[in-house]
Amino acid sequence: MKKALKIIGIMLVLGFIANCGGDRDHLLRYNVEDGDSYNLTFTMSMEGLLTIEMNMGSTLDIISTNDNEIVTRTSFNSISMDMSMSGESVSYDSRNPYGSEFSNLMHKNISPMLSAKLETTINDRGRVLKAPDLASIFDNNPNLQAQMSDMTKQMENMFVEYPEEALKIGDSFDVQLDNEGMSIAAVYTLTGVTVTEYILSVNGDIASSDELAVTGTMTGTQTFFRESCMPKSSDMTVRMEVSGMTMTMETSMEVEKY
C-alpha cells in the first residue's frame, strides 16, 4: 500500500483536441505571474487486494517570480478516502473527521498537513531549485516530517521538467520520476495544440529498487495551459504487479485558475 500511495503522488506529476499547431515549434516554459492561484482536484481509484477511492483538494499560489525563480505555495484543503480490504471497509473525510474511531485516528495524523503551507521554488523549465523546509514546519512531529517528505517529493514531481529545445507535434521527451526506491521512466509526447492548451500523451514503465518487488506501466494524457504551461488536467491508468498481486489505479486531476 505504501508503494501504491507513493505512485499516487507521482501521478501528481502527471478539453477538446484540435491539432491547430501544424509544424510550428512550441517552447514549453512556465510563464506565471505573482498572485496567480490554482485550485487542484485529484481523484484516485485502486482495485486489487486493497480497494481505495480517494479525493483530495488543494490550492497552489504563485508567491513570486524573480530572476527565473518561481516560488509556489501549496496548501491542502480536503482529503477523503474509502478503503476496503478482506471484507472490511473504513472511511475518512477531513471535513467531517469524527464519524468513527478510524476517522478520528486518521485525522490526528492528517490534520497538521491540512494546516501546512509548503513552499517550492522552481525555474521556468520546472526544475526544483528548493524544496519545502519540513523540519521547521513540523519541528515537533518527526513522524509527520517523514510522511510529508514523501508528499513533498510527489508535489515536486507535479512540475514536469520541460526539455531545453522547442517541440513540434509528434516530438517526445523523457522524464524520470523517483521517490525512495520507486521510479517511473516516462515518455511525454506532444500530440496536439489548441488555442488554450497543450496535449501530451504519457507512457511509462514502473520499477522498484528495494525489497518490495514492483513492476508496471503507466499510460494516459496530460494537458497544460498554453499561456502558462501549468498543469490543466490529467487522466492516467497505472497497472502494477506488487509481490505477485495485480493492482490497477485510475487517477485524474483537474486544475482551475481563479
pTM, two decimals, is 0.83
Instruction: Map 42-89 to HEC letters.
Output: EEEEEECCEEEEEEEEEEEEEEEEECCEEEEEEEEEEEEEEEEECCEE
Judging by beta carbons within 10 Å of its beta carbon (0-12, 13-18, 19+), is residue 172 exposed, middle or buried?
middle
Which residues 6+ apart lie within 8 Å of 153 measured at CB? 9, 131, 179, 180
With b for 16 or more beta-carbon neighbours within 10 A and e for fewer, the 83-116 pattern comes to beeeeeeebbbbeebeeeeebeebbeebeebeeb
Residue 248's CB: how many other CB atoms inside 10 A? 13
Tell me how many domains the chain contains. Answer: 1
Alpha carbon 242 to its chain's center? 21
Q: The C-alpha cell of 175 is what?
A: 522524464
State the residue range of the domain holding 62: 2-14+16-257
Phi, psi of 61 (to 5 degrees): -110, 140
Q: What is the pLDDT along the chain (258 residues), one digit of tens a residue?
A: 455 555 555 444 443 333 344 567 999 999 999 999 999 999 999 887 788 899 999 999 999 999 899 999 999 899 998 988 877 888 999 988 887 888 888 888 778 778 888 899 999 999 989 888 766 666 666 556 555 555 555 555 678 999 999 999 999 999 988 766 778 899 999 999 999 999 999 999 988 866 677 889 999 999 999 999 999 999 999 998 877 788 898 999 999 998
User: Can you give the CATH number for the domain in which 91 is found?
Assistant: 2.30.230
Q: The C-alpha cell of 149 is what?
A: 517528505
Which residue type occupies 102? F
Q: The C-alpha cell of 171 is what?
A: 516530438
pLDDT for residue 138? 63
Q: List beta partners, residue 30.
A: none
